[in-house]
Amino acid sequence: MRVLLVNTNQIIPPIPPIGLLYLGAHLKTKGHEVVICDLCLQNDIEATLRNDLEIHKPDIVGVTIRNIDNVTFFSSCEYLPFIQQVVGLIKANYQGPIVLGGAGYSIMPVEILDFLGADFGIVGEGEIALDGLLKILNDPTHYPHIDGLVYRNEGVININPPKHIPRKVLDTLPFQQIDLVDYQKYFSCGGYASISTTRGCAMECNYCTYPVIEGKRFRPRSAQRIVDEIEMFLERGYDYFNLTDSVFNFSEEHVRNFCKEIIKRGLKLSWNGYLNPITINAETVTLMLKAGCSAFYVGIDTCSEKMLKKMCKGFSKSQIIRAATTLHSLGTDFGFWLLLGGPGETRETILETFDTIDKINPIFTPIMYGIRVFPGTALAYEAIQDGTIKPDVNWLVPQFYISPDVADIIEDMVSDFIKYKSNTWAPLKGNEFTINSQLVELYQKGIKGPPWRMAEKLQKIEAARSACKE
């Protein structure tokens, strides 16, 4: 069948549509003709859509939804209205079925299908499910047998439970088909190539949607297979990677196997990934550095023992301190991410976090406050139980949680904490993150690195410009 996949993500700097590239590659191996209509960095959305629909004449159109909003409390930006316009344009120029998918879609599949007026949806991983739908597209009697399929039946939206791809099957799936988009554009404007080494998340963080999207079972790909894919990228000149896994170092064995495979092959590359502090130790970090890890992104959320337990982080304050000590001792480039304001947060717990951050002194500490609440998470259940969110709330409208004990003071506390620190950052009201276009300019010049190093370069450029004006 002829399949047109539409990338609706327009975030700048651009992020490679890794899900579509894996999906497109798999569908092509099954004999389908696949084209991606990439709306990222496009100025004329309507003309781009109309052109691709007219030229490729698809039998089905897939629309991916990576995010439904920007998850930022003080300046929330919703993406679904734009995607609704995209679906409307597709319908105006095409009469066939439309199927929705992607991480954002999987969080609220029934509500989003209804809102956008699409015909089908795929919850969770799309490779096997979408291929299954294509095989029986014109036979509704088989719809109930496609895992993860969302479909309409006599005006009622039905949803089949997803079945996540087993670990042994992951290694049989093809690599990303990066020729389906202008990948050089993503690399030059976005700063990195993307690759997935695992699926699923076995962590229990109370606000997180990864277990909802990918399942709770940690499923790593084999190190050999991952590095084979990396070599494919290297052969094409892409040598800086972001590992998209929710927690790359959940399994210390997986990390070590991956690093040893890179070292064994003598590959030269730089990469980074999202980590938790549990398995950060001298031996593993040394191996990661030798394998090309250039920055460590560590999600801790809080340094308060009370809040670590409330947020179900699965690690302790002592493990955070131990991880920071290890990273400092090995001269690594690392950041510790904070997320403040959850249930139970008080002035004292925030001060405990700030005091600990001062003592362990990460290279960079971004601070977010106000936690985006998504249905199906433990945080959503707690927010409904304590009356913060009504049971019949419209989840398509962004909902946020801030502990009532700090709602009136949290912004001032964050502002005071970062005021004289060059290694902290928070998106305070009136001081939003506005350097995205400047980052693109640096990436296009071949300058790459973690966000804090890019910010340093921009500051130096701005200082030089100011000096010239004087």
CA pair distance 62, 36, nearest whole angstrom: 9
Q: Would you list the domain boundaries of the chain?
A: 2-159, 192-433, 434-470
The alpha carbon dihedral of 424, 429, 430, 436 has a sign of positive
CATH topology assigned to domain 192-433: TIM Barrel (3.20.20)
User: For residue 189, which of 38, 20, 49, 293 has the smallest C-alpha distance?
Assistant: 38
**Over its length of 470 residues, how does the chain's per-residue pLDDT go in tens digits?**
999 999 999 998 999 999 999 999 999 999 999 999 999 989 899 999 999 999 999 999 999 999 999 998 888 889 999 999 999 999 999 999 999 999 999 999 999 999 999 999 999 999 999 999 999 999 999 999 999 999 999 889 999 999 999 999 999 999 999 999 999 999 999 999 999 999 999 999 999 999 888 999 999 999 999 999 999 999 999 999 999 999 999 999 999 999 999 999 999 999 999 999 999 999 999 999 999 999 999 999 999 999 999 999 999 999 999 999 999 999 999 999 999 999 999 999 999 999 999 999 999 999 999 999 999 999 999 999 989 999 999 999 999 999 999 999 999 999 999 998 888 988 876 555 556 778 888 888 888 888 888 878 877 766 655 556 55
Q: Which is nearest to 276 in space by CA: 310, 323, 224?
A: 323
Q: What is the b/e burial string over 434-466, where b = at least 16 CB atoms within 10 angstroms of the residue's CB? A: ebeebbbebbeeeebbbbbbbbeebeeeeeeee
3 state DSSP class of 149: strand
For residue 392, how many other CB atoms are within 10 A of its CB?
7
3-state secondary structure of 125: coil
Q: Cα separation of 282 and 298, whole Å?
A: 15
Distance CA 452, CA 443 (A): 14
CA-nearest of 344, 347, 348, 364 to 426 is 364
- Provide the terminal-to-terminal Cα distance of the chain, rounded to the nearest Å: 63
Element (H, E) at 338: strand 334-340
Which backbone phi and psi does 450 adopt, to 5 degrees? -65, 160
pLDDT (0 to 100) of residue 430: 58
Fold assignment, 2-159: Rossmann fold (3.40.50)
